[in-house]
Amino acid sequence: MTAGPSLSTGVAQPLPFPGDHPGAAASGRIGVLLVNLGTPDAPTYWPMRRYLKEFLSDRRVIEVSRLLWWPLLNGIILTTRPGKSGAKYASIWDQAENASPLLVVTRRQTEKLARAFAGRDGRVVVDFAMRYGSPSIAERLDGLRARGCDRILIVPLYPQYAAATTATVCDKAFEHLMTLRWQPAVRIAPQWHDDPVYIEALAASVRASLAGLDFEPEVVLASFHGVPKTYLLAGDPYHCFAVKTGRLLREALGYDEARLRITFQSRFGKEEWLKPYTDETVEGLAKAGVKRIAIVAPGFVADCLETLEELGVENREIFLHHGGEKFAYLPCLNDSEEGQRVLEHVVGRELQGWI
């Protein structure tokens, strides 16, 4: 409704909408959208193929010329990789929830964060989306708008910014916003790679995990997801952020550089990626006579294929095969008390002025 002055009082009074007015959308609430990488709907061939096609078609993820990449992707990769990746997903699949661990943990993080903010401001609505797969960013943005959120904080769940992770979340969100007649006000949470709350949460989690082992590791590896070296040379700051997180974690634990080492995992293809590689480091340590190691993945906020299967299974086998004796993968923060404290801190910091 609009307002106009009353002839008798001079005070503005509501005027009725015209009969064909479509009505205003609900508004006045504040949305928080957590966004993680994504997951297939099932660990079988066709869901895996759909997921991998969306993921590997992203120009932020694969920066190779389309003329070279499309034939390779749609030929060999999408024919062979869904079966291989599906088998790995099946080995870690949460049967009780019928979902990947990443989806299960992200949902729990969302539910706990919603409860935490319910007592602080009743206008806050918390939801989650996946950059690849379901639920999509567009779907959940529309859902928040339908619930009256005209201000939305998008939180890419990556402590260390990278173009292939944080930036592509922004790309997809704004791609959808471009289709809206009435756009909400939007904020994007920045990286928190060196935030003291995050570093202390990591350190506390590592201490607790190590205390639960029946051995003391000689070396702890802080393994971060890798990216091609060319991305670094093109100006991507991810390497710097990851190394700083590793250094601050090392200092918080009171370790030296020999005791806690920074490595990079999950390389794909033949080009050079960020080094040192996690798998080669694990093999090298075993061959050098190190008998006990542990690996933590500070760049992941939730356990997933790359942590549970790649680190916890593949790298364990590498270590034991080459002479190692004791191996432990230390879990991510997930929806632990320490992990939720970090998310509440980041979200609360970025909602200042709105709540």
Binding site per annotation, positions: 225, 306
User: Using an 8 Å Cβ cutoff, are 216 and 292 in contact?
Assistant: yes
User: Which letter, b or e, does each residue of 281-298 get, where b requires 16 or more Cβ atoms within 10 Å of its Cβ?
Assistant: bbbebbeeebbbbbbbbb
Annotated binding site for Fe(2+): 225, 306
* Per-residue tokens: 87: 């088998």
Strand arrangement of the beta sheet that strand 185-188 belongs to? 124-133, 29-39, 149-156, 185-188
Please report which helix (H) or strand (E) contains residue 150, including its range: strand 149-156
Strand boundaries in 201-307, DSSP class E:
219-225, 260-265, 292-296
Cα 292 to Cα 73: distance, rounded to the nearest angstrom: 39
Query: How do beta strands 149-156 and 185-188 pair?
Result: parallel
Pairing of strands 219-225, 292-296: parallel
* Cβ count within 10 A of residue 157: 23
Question: Which of 39, 225, 54 is closest to 130 using CA atoms?
Answer: 39
